[in-house]
Chains A and B, each alone.
Chain A
Amino acid sequence: MTEPLVARHSLEYPGGYTRSVGDVVGRYLTGLRDGRIEGARLADGRVLVPPTEYDPLTSAAVSVDDFVEVGPAGTVVTWSWVANPRAEKHALDRPFAFALIRPDGADTSMLHMVDVATPEEMSTGMRVIPHWRSDRIGGVSDIEAWRPYKDGDPIPEVPPLPFSENMGDSVTGIVTSGRLDYEIAAGESTTRFLLGLAEGKIIGGKAVGSDDVYAASRGTDPTTGAPTSISVDVSDTGVITTFCIVNIPGLSDLAPEIPYVSAQVLLDGADNTFFGLIRGCSVDEVRMGMRVKAKWLDQLTTDHGSIEWWEPTGEPDAEYTDYKDYL
């Protein structure tokens, strides 16, 4: 068995993921932007920090009218040490502690970071105070981190924000970013198929005791779940079973200029259809039953892109009865 292929890909939302925050979360984040920590006083008198739209115990609605200021000093309820901060994820580039911190006057605690040099400086019950950023935008990272605090010491000043025309407005949304990297193992069958593409061949598979051939099999006959252990070469010619003419511009960076045709192609010798673009004729000429052939890239790769598009062979159209079961 050849070494299976591995694809590297990333999951990321360019520009970040935008969320509306609503009244309650918006009021809390507005407070953070203005250098103030607030909580919501619940019906039973407890003060919930950070506030949520509903009392987590009773589900009674929480209103901005219930807001009270808490802190700024607080107490560490529990903590864990991050010896190796993760670049692009964590706001601090040096070791720190994650902690649940209960601000003075609150009955619940909030997750945040404590900025000390070593874990020996951390302890449950220690007193901490927020260190505010000077470029606050209305988000939990407006507090850069919390720092140790000795009761009776002066409360550090909150650095003022530079003047801006909308500095009095309420926070209505946040943008969050993040990226995850993956290494996806193609598996045996897909590897076989992709290596075939690099040689200009379409490889399918079939299960023992079955005549059904699946081009680009993922490893099983999808109708029975049996492994497609027998490798079968499939033709690079076939029949258009169904198609659509795309008139929407900019669907993807890879899409050709509109109008273009996307189609399902039933390959000769296979029992499943294959997605492809149809070119080499006007979009008006494309029809169900039309015979087509793969147009291979000059430089073949282990990638679906090895087949650039499908073009008419000029052979007579297939009969509807020949492909009606594959629609």
Chain B
Amino acid sequence: MRDVAVVSFSYSTIAKEQMRNEVEMLAPVITEAIDASGIARSDIGFTCSGSFDYLQGGPFSFVMGLDAVGAWPPIRESHVEMDGAWALYEAWIAIQTGEVDSALVYGFGKASQGNVHEIMSLQLDPYYVAPLWPSMVDLAALQARAYLDSSGLSERDLAEVVAQAMRSARDTPQAIRSGEPSIEELLAAPYVASPLRDADIFPTTDGVAAIVLAAGDLARSVNKRPAWIRGLDHRIEPHSLGARDLTRSESTALAAKHAGVASGPIDVAEVHAQFSHEVLILSEALGVDPSIVNPSGGPLAANGIMSAGLVRIGEVAQRIMDGTANRGVAHATSGPALQQNLVCVLEGE
């Protein structure tokens, strides 16, 4: 295996971007990531993006996104119809092949242009589930109740998760939500889909994120302290919700095992928990204490659809690059109720 590291990271979020289109949101973030990487744009070996056409209701939105990259002379490029974290996985594989030594990875999406909770229903089983039109929040609520029933925890425990996320988010410039809500205040709010309240659910977010990866000596030559990817794995569970154990995340636990999460101490964890109960389910699956999870506030503070998973990797990498952490784990998810999960272990030298 080749040593591959994150050498730069940039992202931006906004609740509802009405001034700029996707290309105009992406261009400055991609430029910032490339400039910070120390690698010339023309020297980047591979480009891979993650986006979701149904967010704008038109096909091939990733082709338009390329306008922000600069694709002339022609570049090596690929795309996943998933969060940018899976684009990073593909880029990491591309570097492993030895064909390239660096990669630009980005994810983008404007969730505010439609009803994102319903748009995500288009990924469901079209025969048995999609015709009933459960939203992604309805399905998350089924998992939340199953988890609370089985764990003996209560809605108060979910409120504690929200309060911690909001306090942590106060130091995150990209946070859409942050503050110091009291538990009583949180529990007094009405349900959106019981047992979930508005604060238990990610805020609708338009967001873009970019990461530059580099291999071995190139990474060392451009960055004083690259964030090395020590393990990267993703696993998926059956799509049928009733055939899964919703009270735990077996796919996260298995990916964590193969990524080597437990083979060293973890200083920081960023998980792609779009709902409060997912912070607890994912912490258990990763084997980390919830108190070190999501120092950025996580997706409860800002959740750019198709970039928030990549942001988790970036948030951990940034803390390693700036020396505030030595070893951390990042998680990204895809599909309803944590169906598919990616785990990335990062470490300083």
- State the A residues within 8 Å of B (CB): 1, 4, 6, 9-11, 17, 19, 21, 25, 29, 48-50, 52, 56-57, 77-83, 86, 89-91, 98-100, 102, 108-113, 119, 124, 139-141, 174, 176, 178, 180-190, 218-227
> 12 A-B contacts, Cβ less than 8 Å apart?
A80-B142, A89-B133, A90-B132, A108-B243, A140-B131, A180-B118, A187-B19, A218-B24, A219-B21, A220-B23, A222-B67, A225-B41
Known contacts A78-B246, A176-B131, A218-B21; decide if A227 and B27 are in contact (CB<8 Å): yes
Please, how many angstroms separate the alpha-carbon atoms of A227 and B67 in the complex?
10
Are A81 and B131 neighbours in the complex by a CB distance under 8 Å? no
Known contacts A111-B132, A227-B27; decide if A100 and B193 are in contact (CB<8 Å): no
Of residues 18 through 47 on chain B, the ones whose CB sits less than 8 Å from some CB of chain A are: 18-24, 27-28, 30-31, 41
Interface size class of B (residues with CB under 8 A): 35 or more
Q: Is B182 an interface residue (CB 8 A)?
A: no
Of residues 219 through 253 on chain B, the ones whose CB sits less than 8 Å from some CB of chain A are: 238-243, 246
CB distance from A28 to the nearest CB of B (A): 8
Please, how many angstroms separate the alpha-carbon atoms of A306 and B19 in the complex?
23
B30: A residues at CB distance < 8 A: 225
Question: Which of A50, A90, A182, A186 has the most B CB atoms < 10 Å from its CB?
Answer: A182
Are A185 and B110 neighbours in the complex by a CB distance under 8 Å? yes
Please, how many angstroms separate the alpha-carbon atoms of A109 and B24 in the complex?
45
- State the B residues within 8 Å of A (CB): 17-24, 27-28, 30-31, 41, 54, 56-57, 64, 66-72, 110, 113-115, 118-119, 122, 126-134, 138-139, 141-146, 149, 191, 193-196, 238-243, 246
Write the chain B residue with the least CB distance to A86: B133
Known contacts A77-B146, A79-B145, A219-B67; decide if A86 and B23 are in contact (CB<8 Å): no
Are A86 and B118 neighbours in the complex by a CB distance under 8 Å? yes
A124: B residues at CB distance < 8 A: 145, 149
Are B142 and A78 neighbours in the complex by a CB distance under 8 Å? yes
Out of B19, B67, B143, B195, name the residue touching A218 (CB < 8 Å).
B67
Question: Which of A98, A108, A139, A227 has the most B CB atoms < 10 Å from its CB?
Answer: A98
Out of B19, B54, B142, name the residue touching A185 (CB < 8 Å).
B19
Known contacts A21-B127, A82-B193; decide if A220 and B68 are in contact (CB<8 Å): yes
Additional 8 contacts, C-beta under 8 A, given A25-B127, A219-B24, A226-B70: A29-B127, A50-B240, A80-B195, A83-B191, A141-B131, A187-B24, A218-B67, A219-B27
B67: A residues at CB distance < 8 A: 218-220, 222, 225
Please, how many angstroms separate the alpha-carbon atoms of A21 and B125 in the complex?
12
A180: B residues at CB distance < 8 A: 54, 57, 114-115, 118-119, 122
Question: Which of A6, A81, A186 has the most B CB atoms < 10 Å from its CB?
Answer: A81
A50: B residues at CB distance < 8 A: 128, 240, 242
Are B113 and A183 neighbours in the complex by a CB distance under 8 Å? yes
Please, how many angstroms separate the alpha-carbon atoms of A86 and B149 in the complex?
28
Question: Which of B113, B126, B243 has the most A CB atoms < 10 Å from its CB?
Answer: B243
B28: A residues at CB distance < 8 A: 227
A102: B residues at CB distance < 8 A: 242
B238: A residues at CB distance < 8 A: 56-57
A187: B residues at CB distance < 8 A: 19-24
Please, how many angstroms separate the alpha-carbon atoms of A139 and B118 in the complex?
21
CB distance from A63 to the nearest CB of B (A): 17
Question: Which of B128, B149, B239 has the most A CB atoms < 10 Å from its CB?
Answer: B128
Question: Which of A29, A50, A90 has the most B CB atoms < 10 Å from its CB?
Answer: A50
Are A185 and B113 neighbours in the complex by a CB distance under 8 Å? yes
A25: B residues at CB distance < 8 A: 127-128
A111: B residues at CB distance < 8 A: 128-129, 132, 134, 142, 241-242
Known contacts A78-B149, A111-B241, A220-B67; decide if A225 and B113 are in contact (CB<8 Å): no
B134: A residues at CB distance < 8 A: 98, 111
Are B19 and A80 neighbours in the complex by a CB distance under 8 Å? no
A189: B residues at CB distance < 8 A: 21, 24
Are A185 and B20 neighbours in the complex by a CB distance under 8 Å? yes
B66: A residues at CB distance < 8 A: 222
